[in-house]
């Protein structure tokens, strides 16, 4: 199912007419994941079409759009308190338009709270409905009406929304939206809806265009990219992207261990390093009992088998993971199982999170919530172990030459210091007399810590 996004959308034109001859500015504030970053790029793209210019500060903006995250309650509190800050701005400039998009805008109780408690908020718009942005802005500007669009997502997809990308050489490409997995701790299936995949031809043509414009790194985005399904599966899609002419690399995130197919592993091996030799494979727990409670539908053995296959097929691959510490009923034994898997895999990087209740998810209602002191103690043990492996993995690279994509000037060091990323997604600092931002180059690694590498340009 797909709605065409009409570039001549009457509301875009109508807002353009209202803005004609005036200097109007749009400020977008983004919380949360890469999917939100990608959505914000589309918001900016639509804003430019409606005659807005972009600003980096809310102080001189005519429209402020807050792109929210609902993954943790703390993230919601942060977004709401940020909204509170805009009240004073609205008092000074009554014509200011303030909108809320992202996952929080899909939660009815949050929308109700915003509607009644934040009178200066002009609209909320749930995810997957960005094509309605011109309409809700028009309704405010022309008719003075507030809009709260929630519960309208019918599972369709909108193609062709323009994106104003924040980087000229790195690009996110959403290939699918939503999630069908209902992990028991996660709110995403309730906020982003069920899985829907973009047509492969649209994705391929977007990638072709990006490469033609000199983009060096494409990251395919989706809550669960491995279950991408259109006229082809994910392995075939990424293979087709890897086959495009051009000097670029393609990455993807995020994956679910249950959906990593042998064919994907084979394709990654065949097209490495054009397909980056890096895989983020969220473990969450090494205990099969906890994995079951999390509704993850794999066990630690299946996870370890996938790791073995990846390492065999893609020599030098880097692996990272997510781990949740202190999930309800987690015992010392369960936690030891997690450490056992971490020891066996030796991940390059572990993103670890202390479990915190997320209202609206099954896990929040489970008995056996683990007390904070125990969670903290487990977390420090996990960090000590995972940092030691990160350090070990990075030190193994000393003396090797790494192909890197130069991202920016380094915040540390001299004017000539740069920050780059290896194909395996590791941060590298090096110096260069020439500005190489946006270019691939080769760096000899001389020093390494757990989270960064240091090197010099290979002559």
Query: Which residue number, 106 or 114, has a Cβ lying nearer to ligand SF4?
Result: 106
Cα–Cα distance, 42 to 27 (Å, whole number): 13
**Cβ proximity to ligand SF4, 364 vs 437, nearer residue:** 364
Q: Does 223 bind ligand SF4 (CB under 6 A)?
A: yes
Q: Which is nearer to ligand SF4, 224 or 338 (CB)?
A: 224
The Cα 14–Cα 8 span in angstroms is 10
| Nearest distance from C-beta of residue 451 to ligand SF4, angstroms | 24
283 binds ligand SF4 (CB under 6 A): no
Residues 188-207 that bind ligand SF4 (CB under 6 A): 188-189
Half-sphere exposure of 341 (CA within 13 A, CB side): 30
Phi, psi dihedral angles at 337 (to 5 degrees): -60, -40
Spell out the long-range contacts of 136-143 with Cβ–Cβ below 8 A and sequence spacing 24 or more. 136/99, 137/11, 137/15, 137/50, 137/63, 137/97, 137/99, 138/11, 138/14, 138/15, 138/18, 140/97, 141/15, 141/18, 141/97, 142/14, 142/18
When binding is defined by CB under 6 A, the residue of 191, 224, 300, 321 that contacts ligand SF4 is 224
Would you say 183 or 406 has its CB closer to ligand SF4? 183
Minimum distance between the CB of residue 285 and ligand SF4, rounded to whole angstroms? 12
Is 360 a binding residue for ligand SF4 by CB under 6 A? The answer is no
String of contacts with ligand SF4 for each residue 152-191, x by CB under 6 A: ---------------------------x-xxx--x-xx--
Do 424 and 414 meet the contact criterion of CB atoms below 8 Å apart? no
Q: Which residues, numbered 238-257, are part of the site for ligand SF4 (CB under 6 A)?
A: 256
Stretch 254-273: interaction string toward ligand SF4, x if CB under 6 A: --x-----------------
CB of 300: closest distance to ligand SF4 in angstroms? 17
Q: Tell me whether residue 125 or residue 179 sits nearer to ligand SF4 (CB atom).
A: 179
Question: What residue has token string 């265009």?
Answer: 209
SS (H, E, C) 395-447: HCCCCCEEEEEEEEECCCCCCCEEEEEECCCCEEEEECCCCCCCCEEEEEEEE
Residues engaged in binding ligand SF4 (CB under 6 A): 179, 181-183, 186, 188-189, 223-224, 256
């Amino acid at each position: 199912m797909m709605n065409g996004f009409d570039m001549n959308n009457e509301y875009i034109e109508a807002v353009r007419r209202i803005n004609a001859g005036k200097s109007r500015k749009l400020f977008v504030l983004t919380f949360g994941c890469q999917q939100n970053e990608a959505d914000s790029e589309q918001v900016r793209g639509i804003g430019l079409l409606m005659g807005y210019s972009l600003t980096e500060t809310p102080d001189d903006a005519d429209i402020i759009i807050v792109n929210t995250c609902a993954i943790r309650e703390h993230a919601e509190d942060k977004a709401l308190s940020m909204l509170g800050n805009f009240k004073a701005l609205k008092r000074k400039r009554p014509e200011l338009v303030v909108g809320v998009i992202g996952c929080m805008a899909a939660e009815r109780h949050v929308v109700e709270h915003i509607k009644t408690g934040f009178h200066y908020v002009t609209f909320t718009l749930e995810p997957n409905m960005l094509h309605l942005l011109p309409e809700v802005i028009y309704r405010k500007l022309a008719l003075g009406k507030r809009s709260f669009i929630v519960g309208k997502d019918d599972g369709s997809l909108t193609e062709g929304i323009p994106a104003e990308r924040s980087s000229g050489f790195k690009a996110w490409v959403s290939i699918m939206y939503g999630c069908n997995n209902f992990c028991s701790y996660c709110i995403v299936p309730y906020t982003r809806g069920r899985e829907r995949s973009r047509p492969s031809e649209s994705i391929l043509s977007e990638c072709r265009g990006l490469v033609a414009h000199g983009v060096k790194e494409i990251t395919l985005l989706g809550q669960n990219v491995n279950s991408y399904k259109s006229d082809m599966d994910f392995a075939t899609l990424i293979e087709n992207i890897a086959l495009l002419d051009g000097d670029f690399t393609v990455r993807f995130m995020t994956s679910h261990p249950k959906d990593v197919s042998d064919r994907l592993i084979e394709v990654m091996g065949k097209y490495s390093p054009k397909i980056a030799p890096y895989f983020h494979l969220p473990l969450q727990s090494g205990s099969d009992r906890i994995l079951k409670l999390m509704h993850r539908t794999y066990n630690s053995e299946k996870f370890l088998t996938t790791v073995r296959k990846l390492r065999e097929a893609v020599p030098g691959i880097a692996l990272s993971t997510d781990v949740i510490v202190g999930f309800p009923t987690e015992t010392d034994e369960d936690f030891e199982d997690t450490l056992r898997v971490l020891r066996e895999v030796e991940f390059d990087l572990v993103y670890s999170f202390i479990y915190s209740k997320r209202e609206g998810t099954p896990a929040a209602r489970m008995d056996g919530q683990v007390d904070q002191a125990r969670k903290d103690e487990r977390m420090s043990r996990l960090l000590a172990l995972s940092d030691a492996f990160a350090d070990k993995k990075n030190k193994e690279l000393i003396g090797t030459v790494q192909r890197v994509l130069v991202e920016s000037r380094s915040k540390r060091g001299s004017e000539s210091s740069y920050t780059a990323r290896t194909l395996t997604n590791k941060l590298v600092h090096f110096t260069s007399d020439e500005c190489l931002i946006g270019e691939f180059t080769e760096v000899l690694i001389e020093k390494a810590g757990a989270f960064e590498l240091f090197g010099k340009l290979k002559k």
